[in-house]
Structure formats: C-alpha cells, structure tokens
Structure 1
Amino acid sequence: MPLSGNWPDGVGRSVLPQVDSTNAEAARRMAAFAGPEWILTLRQTAGRGRRGRVWHDPEGNFAASYLFRPEMPTAQAALYSFVTALALQEALTAATGRPDSFALKWPNDVLLHGAKLAGILLESAGPFLTIGIGVNLAAHPDADAGALRPVSLLGETGLRIAPEEFLDLLAPAFAHWQTQFTTYGFAPIRTAWLARAARLGEKITARTVTDSHEGTFEGIDDTGALLLRSAHGLRAIPAADVFF
C-alpha cells in the first residue's frame, strides 16, 4: 500500500524485493494487463539505460517502471520522456524543498547541482508504453569516461528517502503532468520543461551515432527535437547524446 493518501486513482502499485529489470517485468505483465501500474523493485540486477547501456543500482536507489496504454501514436507517446522529467523534478523538489538545485538535461536526465541524478528509458511494445526510471537516492555508480559526473541525493543534500516513499511522491506528480499532456497537448509540457532546462542558451555538443554537432542550445521543437544553432544555422536533432 502507498505510504501517502495522494496515490492516483486507478493506478496499480507493485513493490518487489528483487527483479532483473523493472522494464523487463513490465513486459512480462503485458499479457495480463488490467490497468496502468507502477512497478518498483528494491534491488534491480540487470538495469538498462539508453542505447543498451548498463544502469547500475546500488542498494537504496530508486528503480521503477510505469506500464500503461498511452492511446496515442508512438511518435507522440515518445514525448512522455519530458512528462516524466517534469514529474521527477517535482517529486525531488517536494522531497528536498530545493527547486533551484535540479535541472533537466535533454533528452532524458535529471541533474542535481549540474551532475547526473536520474535517468529515464522509454520502451514501446504494441499498444503499451513502459517508462523506466532510475534515481540515485542513496548512492551513485562510478563515473564513465566522458560521461556527466553522477551524484546521489543523499550525498548532495543529506536527505535519506526510501524508494517506496519516493514513489509516493512521484506517482501523483506524474499523474498531474500526464493530465496536462493528455488534456492540452505538448505545448505546456514544452514550456515547463524549457523553464527547467540545463544549459539553455549555452554552448553544447550533441553527438549522434555518426556525427558530432556543436552550437548553442536554443530549445526543443514541438516534436521534442533538440534545437541547436551553429555557424550553419538552426538544426533540429531528434536523437543524440548531449555533452557540456
């Protein structure tokens, strides 16, 4: 049962002691799908990040997935990465009371004091969308070469919060932003995300599988693509890794 009284109506909640991957567990539950559900594990042994990267989950960290039917085209459903980022920022602010400490990094990270705190992974299968979320609540993994420095919520703020408690903050925050998205479209999500965007108006590097682009981060368009201005003009980049 949730620890708070703000759990969204009609949304399931499963807390597992251990699982390989919450996204993999969500895929196993699709055949018996009865409604949207949050799946939280207290220990994840085979977490995954974007592009097949390993996601490390030291004990006490947050690893969860939200399984649902978005009832919209796949391309539009991909914008749920921005919905989720806003929900994470709201939940982290509620936990810490420090709204200015957090920023959102395109396309799917949440930063704390400019370092990586959380990541988001979306996976679609038929009519279903699974949103995997990892947050370094208690500890952080070692830094990968060239990657943004990782931090933990405990290490940076001194706040210790259990994964179950954090889920009770995240689920209602997600429900709020999901309602904004399904009711009003992407425009208010885009505006809110840009208000919290890391390095907006600054020089960044966006690396795709084949190319590297340097320029000024000018925002995101109505498809969620990164807008990068360089000497060659304004370019929309739909998928890339961003480096500061």
Structure 2
Amino acid sequence: MSDAPWPEGVGRRLLNTVDSTNAEAFRLAPQMAGPCWILGGEQTAGRGRRARAWASPRGNFHGTLLLHPKEPAAEVALRSFAAALALREAFVAVTGLPAAFSLKWPNDVLLNGGKVAGILLESSGAGQGVAHLAIGIGVNLIAAPDPAQVEAGAVRPVSLLSETGVRVSPEAFLAALAPAYARWEAIFTSQGFAPLRAEWLAHAARLGEVIRARTGAETREGLFETIDDSGALILRQPGGSVAIPAAEVFF
C-alpha cells in the first residue's frame, strides 16, 4: 500500500451517493479556491467518454479531481496523461505488480491487457481559457461490466480483484492516487509535457504494433509509432505518418 502523505492544499470530499462526481465537481467549483478530490460511494448517473453510461457499483472507485488551471485549453487537456501515469502508480502501489499495468491511448489503464480504469476530462470555460477542470476517474476495483455490454472489438473489462486477488477500498485507492497525481501535476506545471510524454510512452500498450484508430465513420490502421508533443497518436501508414488528435483505438 502507498505510504505517501495526502498532498498539501488539496481538499477531499467523500459522498455516499452522487449522480456523477464530475457533475458534483462543477457544482462545487465556484466556491472552491484550490484543488479538491470528490469520491462517490456510488454514482447514479456515471458516464464515460462520448456520454456513454459508466457502471458505478458500490465498491468500485468513482472519483473526480477538481482543478482551476491557468494554461490554454490545449495544454490543460494534457492532464489526461498525468492522470493515467498517476493511476498506474497507484495500482502498482496497492498491488506491487508493475509489469501488469499498461496505458492505452488516449486515456485508459490496462491490467493484464484488460481495461481496469478510464479517465474523462470535462471543463468549463472562461473566455479563451478553462475556468474549471474535472478529471473524472473510474476504476473497476471489485467488479467489471459484462463483456457483452461493451462494443465489439473493444478491450475486455476486468477488475483489480478478479485479476490480482487484491481487494482495496475506494478510500485506500484514493490515498495512493492523490499523492501520485500531485507529483505528476507538479512535474507538468514546472517542466511541461515532455517528461510526461516520455514516461507515458515507457508504459504504452501496443507501441510499435499495428492498431486501428476510429474517428467517427473513418477507421485507420497503422503502426503505433509514438505520441507527439500535443498528445496526438502518430500512426505510420504506407503513405507516411499521420497525427490523430482524437480517436477510439482498437487492438
């Protein structure tokens, strides 16, 4: 288990039931001066990327970090990589199994090749900038959705408990996650994206292999070459390398 202290200056709110921790973050945002973690015992209206429903049974982790970033919107979005790195560190801290966890572009964490966690960034604007950022994180600590409920070709969902035998409470997982995120946040704000990019690539799933990236109705297949300085996926195809800023990736 992680023995890192709770990060200084970061709030923590634990809720028994909530519609969505991201929604709660935006409700709290105007009255919060600093960063704050919001943890829900269960969510009644949890959601993932592209407004998909996110199964939120009690015992799994449903949390959001509320931030008030200062950077332009494109840079703010790079915090999804900080969240992924922090998630992986938290998993390693509670299991001691570093080789079991990898990172799937753009924002999933894999355990033994199955999806164990997802990240959803949502923001509210202020002029050209971002007033509030909600980094929503869902982790299958004890239960995963039925594979029949995920779309064809998607990575199979798994739980931490079923794959490792490790049972950890949402509160204990947050105690490992919050300091890990605070460290990556400090690196990002002081050194930029480069160190995050390097560390993320060190743990990237299927790097150097052929993958498929789907954007809307278009699917492109190519070699997963790298990610660029904006976090975009670089896919090498016969005609050359192409940068894909947003897509669903299939293996």
TM-score range, shorter chain: over 0.9
Q: Of 131, 153, 156, which residue of structure 1 is paired with 2:135?
A: 131
Residue ranges of structure 1 left out of the alignment (5+ in a row): none
Q: Matches of 1:141 and 1:156 in 2, distance apart?
A: 14
Q: Which amino acid aligns with 1:145?
A: E
Q: Which aligned runs of 4 or more in structure 1 are off by greater than 2 angstroms?
A: none
Match of 1:20 in 2: 19
Equivalent in the alignment of 1:122? 121
Q: How does 1:103-118 map to 2 (within 5 A)?
A: 103-118=102-117
Pair 1:165-2:210 in alignment:
no
Cα RMSD (Å) of the superposition? 1.1
Q: TM-score scaled to structure 2, two decimals?
A: 0.95
3-state SS of 1:87 partner: helix
Q: Deviations over 1:135-173 (max 9, x none)?
A: 000000112131210000000000000000000000000
Partner residue, 1:149: 156
Aligned residues: 242
Q: Does the 8 A contact of 1:115 with 1:150 survive in 2?
A: yes
Aligned residues of 2:4 and 2:179 also touching (Cα < 8 A): no
- Using the alignment, how far apart are the partners of 2:197 and 2:241 within structure 1? 18
Partner of 2:128: none
Match of 1:206 among 205, 210, 213: 213
Q: Determine whether 1:233 maps to 2:240.
A: yes
Alignment match of 1:188 (pick from 190, 195, 198): 195
Residues 231 and 57 (structure 1), Cα distance of their counterparts in 2 relative to 1, 3 Å cut: same
Spell out, residue by residue over 1:74-100, the C-alpha distance to the aligned partner (whole angstroms, 9 max, x if none). 100000000000000000000000000
Structure 2 CA distance, aligned partners of 1:8 and 1:125? 25
What one-letter code is carried by the residue in structure 2 that aligns with 1:241? E
1:31, distance to aligned residue in structure 2 (A): 2.0
Task: Report deviation, 1:210.
Answer: 3.0
Q: Quick check: 101-110 or 22-31, which moved more?
A: 22-31
* Sequence identity (%): 61
Partner of 2:66 in structure 1?
A: 67
CA distance, structure 2, for counterparts of residue 157 and residue 137 of structure 1: 10
| Corresponding residue of 1:140 | 144
How far, CA to CA, are the matches of 2:222 and 2:13 in structure 1?
44
Report the residue type matching 1:212 in the other structure: T
Q: Please identify which structure carries the higher strand content.
A: 2
Pairing 1:219–2:226 present: yes
Q: Is this contact kept in 2: 1:58–1:140, CA < 8 A?
A: no
Q: State the shift of 1:5 in Å.
A: 6.3
Report the counterpart of residue 51 of structure 2 in structure 1: 52
